[in-house]
Amino acid sequence: MKVAVIGAGVIGITTAYELALDGHEVTVFERRSTAAEEASFANGSLIAPAWLASLANVGRTSNLFWPTTANPGGLRLTGLSGHAQWAWFWRWQRAARAPLQTERQAALFRLAAFSLERLTAISTEERLEYDRSQGLLVLWRSEREAALARSALPGLREQGAVMRELDATQARLIEPSLNPDTTLAGALELPTGMAANCRQFTLQLKSLAQLRGCHFQFGCEVARLDTTGHGVTLTLSAGNTAPQPFDAAVLCAGSAGAALLRPLGWQAPTQTVYGHSVSAAVREPLDAPLSAVIDARHQISISRLGQRVRVAGGTTLGGRPGRLSASEMRRLYRVLMDWFPGAARLGGPQGSVQEWRGAQVLVPDALPLLGESSVPRIWLNLAHGSGGWALACGCARALADQMLGRTSDIDLDPFSPARIKA
């Protein structure tokens, strides 16, 4: 088929790559000047199925795998504007209390595990080189946090999660640079988890997709989709280019992708939230993390990516678009200082520290929209929330199989767009 992929973040690039592997003629449209310029630019870098599955239980703090003293699921409210945001928030809360929540969590774990397998296979087969480090520790600041987490461990182990509970001494042996003055009640080791540079991977895979015949149109924002009896036409927002015909289109552009569906009569209850990160050069390797840790209380990660340290989290609903949250940035710096006070070079020349805010899209049940929409020939790979990097390779392969009518290696029913009622 002749397929249009809208969006050139990690979701769009992995989708284009997998479709090209299957022999489709693929064109990728991206409003930015290059790939991985938005949500894939400086995200949290973590790939850990058990951690991601735990975040699916976003509405009841007592059931969180790693509880947080922030709002449920680590999502913080910062001045919700209008009825639409409040209505979505209450739907999000209700979804977390639904009887099928455990099944949703298990489905997300399976998808994330499949995605990790696919990422590993692509990296090996294509000999990709990008900054990454193996292993992940979840840090508990109190016995209460540890006790709450322990109640959820049996269910995750039943799903196949590999984990090991550690006391504070054992955790400090794995990450010897942890600040001895910060209280540590214990930790959970996820040996199959990892930190990896999403943007580096995405740019390399984009080059490989081009070698396999993918075409890229950068600086091209899609203004409208129209369906015909034989396919889909794309109209760009600027220029005199005539509408471009395709057999199918795959929307991988987050909130922009969801907006393209509204004129066609399909309005998914999506909501844009914002994640924050700080990236800085390693000041002293002996003071920096060897891999990655998560502060369970604050739902903030600290990762080693080559010669840089990345601190990420601070996910907010509400606030002013396009502006960093000063309070969330302070929280990121504070958590970094708590655990690795000498890790990063935070002073020096302007530009040595990168502060970032990226948009992430969610639907109320916190699962991605993956599959054909209610509009024929328009497919979705959207609404991954903070898990886009961790889910990208698996979602792309599963969607490519589905578009060929081939049985996927994973059950996609929990992620079907048909489950959503606007």
Tell me the two tokens of residue 303: 């990762």
Please give the pLDDT value at position 73. Answer: 46
d(CA 175, CA 295): 13
**Residue 45 belongs to a domain:** no
Whether residues 212 and 253 share a domain: the answer is yes
pLDDT at 399 over 70: yes
Contact 279, 42 (CB under 8 A): yes
d(CA 45, CA 235): 34
Domain count, the chain: 2
CATH of the domain at 30: 3.50.50.60
d(CA 384, CA 390): 9
Contact 309, 343 (CB under 8 A): yes
Mark which of 330, 362, 394 sits at the end of a domain: 362
Q: What proportions of the chain, in percent to the nearest 5, are helix, strand and coil?
A: 35, 25, 35
Whether residues 77 and 157 share a domain: the answer is yes
Whether residues 301 and 312 share a domain: the answer is yes
**Residue 391 belongs to a domain:** yes
Whether residues 340 and 211 share a domain: the answer is no
* DSSP of 108-169: HHHHHHHHHHHHHHHHHHHT----EEEEEEEEESSHHHHHHHHTTHHHHHHHT---EEE-HH
- 98: Cβ contacts below 8 Å, ≥ 6 apart: 365
d(CA 374, CA 377): 9
Contact 46, 292 (CB under 8 A): yes
d(CA 275, CA 55): 14
pLDDT level of residue 20 (50, 70, 90 thresholds): very high
**Residue 179 belongs to a domain:** yes
What does pLDDT average to over the chain? 89
pLDDT at 98 over 50: yes
Please give the pLDDT value at position 100. Answer: 64
**Residue 128 amino acid letter:** L
**Residue 143 belongs to a domain:** yes
DSSP E strands, 298-346? 300-305, 308-318
**Residue 97 belongs to a domain:** no
d(CA 166, CA 184): 11
Contact 27, 214 (CB under 8 A): yes
Mark which of 362, 389, 405 sits at the end of a domain: 362
Whether residues 77 and 174 share a domain: the answer is yes
**Residue 154 belongs to a domain:** yes
Whether residues 295 and 256 share a domain: the answer is no
Whether residues 330 and 369 share a domain: the answer is no
Whether residues 388 and 303 share a domain: the answer is no
- Which residue from 388, 372, 392 is spatially nearest to 380, judged by alpha carbons? 372
Tell me the two tokens of residue 350: 């302007």
d(CA 236, CA 32): 13
Whether residues 244 and 189 share a domain: the answer is no
Tell me the two tokens of residue 408: 């996927």
Residue 159: give the domain boundaries.
66-81+132-194+271-362
**Residue 88 belongs to a domain:** no
Please give the pLDDT value at position 408. Answer: 86
d(CA 231, CA 15): 19
Whether residues 349 and 412 share a domain: the answer is no
Whether residues 265 and 284 share a domain: the answer is no
- Which residue from 396, 311, 299 is spatially nearest to 72, judged by alpha carbons? 299
CATH of the domain at 136: 3.30.9.10
pLDDT digits (tens, 9 = 90+) for 234-283: 999 876 678 899 999 999 998 888 889 889 888 888 888 899 999 999 99
Global pTM?
A: 0.93
Cross-strand bridge partners of residue 302: 293, 311
Helix (H), strand (E) at residue 251: strand 248-251
Tell me the two tokens of residue 16: 């284009």
**Residue 94 belongs to a domain:** no
- 205: Cβ contacts below 8 Å, ≥ 6 apart: 13, 14, 17, 122, 126, 128
First to last CA, the chain: 30
Per residue, what are the HEC states of 154-166? HHHHHHCCCCEEE
Whether residues 235 and 344 share a domain: the answer is no
Please give the pLDDT value at position 104. Answer: 83
pLDDT digits (tens, 9 = 90+) for 173-221: 999 999 999 999 999 999 999 999 999 999 999 999 999 999 999 999 9
Mark which of 362, 387, 404 sits at the end of a domain: 362
